Amino acid sequence: MAATIPDEFLDLMAEKFRMLADPSRLAILRSLMAGERSVTQVVEETGRNQANVSKHLKMLAEAGLVARRKEGLQVFYKLDDPLVERLCKLVCETIVEEAQEVMDRQKKLLDGWRVKKRKE
């Protein structure tokens, strides 16, 4: 796959990954996965303060991950990159699979210990 990614794309890819590498921005994106939200709704749903949310929404909009719409005094945001939700879902599935593998290994270890203790 490395040969199929042009060098010119690497900086663009890194910027998208940078935008996804912050827990506050991920919380905001999670909120927007449910649909368009006002800044106030995002603040309430994420538990972050308004200034922080506004700063991150601006960054996400500049990166092209969210779109913004003004209605009167309110500003509404929505996901604008279909990759965001798919990528988040894929990462979550991988985390669950890795956790399951760890649990399976731990269970085998415990089961082996119990068998050994019974033989003693």
Residues 65 and 18 in one domain: yes
Q: Please give the structure tokens belonging to residue 1.
A: 């796959």
Q: Please give the structure tokens belonging to residue 53.
A: 């949310």
> What pTM, to 2 d.p., does this model score?
0.81
Residues 56 and 90 in one domain: no
Residues 74 and 87 in one domain: no
CATH number at residue 32: 1.10.10.10
* Residues paired with residue 78 on neighbouring β-strands, in sequence order: 67
62 within 8 A of 54, measured Cβ to Cβ:
no
Give me the pLDDT at residue 1, please.
55
Residues 57 and 67 in one domain: yes
Give me the pLDDT at residue 2, please.
56
3-state SS assignment for residue 11: helix
Give me the pLDDT at residue 55, please.
97
Residues 93 and 112 in one domain: yes
Residues 44 and 75 in one domain: yes
Residues 53 and 31 in one domain: yes
* Domain span holding position 120: 82-120
Residues 110 and 73 in one domain: no
Structural domains in the chain (count): 2
Considering only CA atoms, which of 86, 70, 72 is closest in space to residue 33? 86
Residues 13 and 47 in one domain: yes
Residues 63 and 109 in one domain: no
Tell me which residues of the chain have a pLDDT lower than 70.
1-2, 116, 120
